[in-house]
Structure 1
Amino acid sequence: MKTDHPIYLFLSAGPEAFRILTGGLRLAGGYRFCSLTIKTLERRLDGILEPDGHEAPVYAIEFMGQPAPGAWYNLLTKIGLYGEQYPEREVTGILIYLRERDRPACPSWIGAPGATPFGVSLEQVLPDWLAREPDNPYVAALAPLAIKDDATLQAQAPALWRTVEGAPLPQAQRDLLAQVLEFWFFERFRGLTAKEIWAMLNLVTPIQETMAYQSIFAEGKTEGKTEGKTEGKAEGKADTLKRQLTRRFGTLPDWTLRRIEAAPVAQLDLWLDGIFDAGSAEDLIGREGGQ
């Protein structure tokens, strides 16, 4: 499954997201954040932070959700293309990966003291953030990547949700962090339905009133639209996904069809976005009875 989108959402939530994701690096002054396609070879950077009205480094960020031996070279290529377009700018590259064992081995000089680009293993930095700043909503949004035991994560889910929803932040930033937290719960517990995950996250507020329902299940819903239209939208996307998966990988097992039919709109969108990167239907949807 593609994981670029939630990382983009997370970084767009402000400079605190950058501090958490990079293990403590702080932005000096104002920055503009966006995703950027390098025109020369049509290479897209997952995220780029450019100084807004002051002299400071540009940060080029790539997220590696799965092992990729050429990830350093990919990032170096993008930094070079960006620098070719903007030769007057100082560019610092950052490769973020889930597990330390996924860190690419070459080139060997990357990681030397003072070298750039540099890497950040979320497996190493997130547990420290949880220990030091458990009430930080930016930390809570990434907690499913740090808490390895499923039972522990399920027990802490309501508190994580409250940390994000009750944060003293603008509503737009809380919404972004809530979407990130939801995504990682869907990614972690692929065998559960949307309603089961919502129940895990929020045990008090009726599901129709939660941000999860509004942003995932009823995505695109405006005042006056009926629930039937939302369900129709999901059904149409589910049919498209099933058709594309069948065309690419052949006949799908029944459990895959059931999981697609039960998925909310946002999850279907993520699967549709990731279909051309998947090596099999299981890579995209998950395996029967689990993750």
Structure 2
Amino acid sequence: MKTDHPIYLFLSAGAEAFRVLTGGRELVGPYRFCSLTIKGLERRLDGIFEPDGHDGPVYVVEFQGQHADSAWYNLLTKIGLYGEAHPHRDVIGVGIFLREQDRPRFPRWANQAQAPLLQVALRQVLPNWLAREPDNPYVAVFAPLLIADDDDLRARAQGLWRTVQEASLAPEVREILGQVLEFWFFERFRGLTAKEIWAMLNLVTPIQETKAYQSIYAEGEVKGKADGKVEGKAEGKVEGKAESLKRLLARRFGPLSAGAEQRIDTAPVAQLDAWLDGIFDAVNVEDLIGPASG
């Protein structure tokens, strides 16, 4: 599962997202979240919180969705590169892992309590957040990672969506959290189409009237009527990205299986964007998009 994209998208929602993912660590003062490339070395810092107008610490965030022996060294390298470019700033590394067993063993001092690194295992931290703050939209978006029973998750899907959509949030933040929640549902229920998942999330508003329908999944052909134009435009956006992804994958790994093509053709825009971003890091088609669903 390619999880970097939704995690960094989530962190871009600001200070509350940082607090939830780090198990309660709060940013003191205003911060801005960005992605940064160290010039000359072309080393990319995917997630970084920089103080905005004050001298608080800089947080360099590294998310690891699967085990990698070099994860700590990768984070330490990024801390060092940023610190070398900004020697008068206090830099703190934050290692976020999906599971406790994903933390690398070396260097051993990195796993000690007194190490100058923050480390979080989401499978340990997030269930407590969900129990304590079930109405917090920043927590609700991770429910598909935490609720083990599929039927239970289906039953709670609409409530989770309402938690995000009815929260007192800036529109751009609500949009981010909605995308993250949708991403996890698509990863959890890979055999369903975008239309089926949206119906699971939102059972009140007719699907044709929703923004998500227009941006994630559209059906029908372009027509002269206004509704037909909207649907055709949305469908064209999805199909264009799907075709680009299939073309790039075929050039890199050879002809795609029918199952892989079907998975790409039914994916939402946010998922296609994540796969396009990760295509050069993948070792094969399955590593990027997962196994074809039956």
Question: Percent identity over the alignment?
Answer: 70
User: What residue number does 2:247 align with?
Assistant: 243
RMSD: 2.1
**Map of 2:223 onto structure 1:** none
> In structure 1, how many angstroms separate the alpha carbons of the residues matched to 2:3 and 2:227?
31
Question: Hey, what's the Cα distance between the residues in 1 that align with 2:248 and 2:32?
Answer: 37
CA shift digits 1:247-276 (9 cap, x unpaired):
222232222222222223332222222222
Local SS of the residue matching 1:35: strand
Please tell me whether the aligned partners of residues 144 and 188 of structure 2 are also in contact (alpha carbons under 8 angstroms): yes
* Corresponding residue for residue 142 of structure 1: 142
Deviation at 1:62, TM superposition (A): 0.9
Rounded to whole Å, the distance in 2 between the matches of 1:35 and 1:226 is 33
Alignment-mate amino acid for residue 114 of structure 2? G
- Which residue of the other structure, out of 232, 235, 253, is the alignment partner of 2:236? 232
* TM-score, normalised via structure 1 length: 0.91
The AA in structure 1 aligned to 2:10 is F
Q: Which residue of 1 aligns with 2:258?
A: 254
AA paired with 1:169? L
Say if 2:214 and 2:230, in contact at 8 Å, map to a contact too: no
Contact preservation (8 Å) 2:179, 2:270: no
Contact 1:11–1:18 (Cα < 8 Å) also in 2: yes
Change (3 A) 1:164 1:211: farther
User: 1:13 matched to which residue of 2?
Assistant: 13
- Are the counterparts in 1 of residues 65 and 97 from structure 2 also a CA contact under 8 Å? yes
Q: CA deviation at 1:94?
A: 0.3
- Aligned amino acid, residue 56 of structure 2: A
Runs of 4+ in 1 over 6 A off after TM superposition: none
**Does 2:272 correspond to 1:268?**
yes
2:221 corresponds to? none
The whole-number CA distance in structure 2 between the counterparts of 1:105 and 1:82 is 24
Residue 110 of structure 1 aligns to a residue in which SS? helix
Residue in 1 aligned with 2:287? 283
- List gaps (5 residues or longer) in structure 1: none
Structure 1: how far apart are the matches of 2:19 and 2:35?
18
Query: Conserved in 1, the CA contact under 8 Å of 2:263 and 2:293?
Result: no
Equivalent pairs counted in the alignment come to 287
Tell me the equivalent position of 1:199. 199
Alpha-carbon distance, 1:223 to partner: 10
Contact 1:111/1:118 (CA < 8 Å) preserved in 2?
no
Identify which range, 279-288 or 153-162, moves more after superposition: 279-288
Shift of 1:117: 1.6
The code of the aligned residue for 1:98 comes to L
Which one has more relative contact order, counting CA pairs under 8 Å at least 6 apart? 1
In the TM superposition, 1:23-172 aligns within 5 A as 23-172=23-172
Q: In structure 2, do the counterparts of structure 1 residues 282 and 64 end up closer, same or farther at CA, with 3 Å as the change threshold? A: same
In the superposition, the TM-score normalised over structure 2's length comes to: 0.91
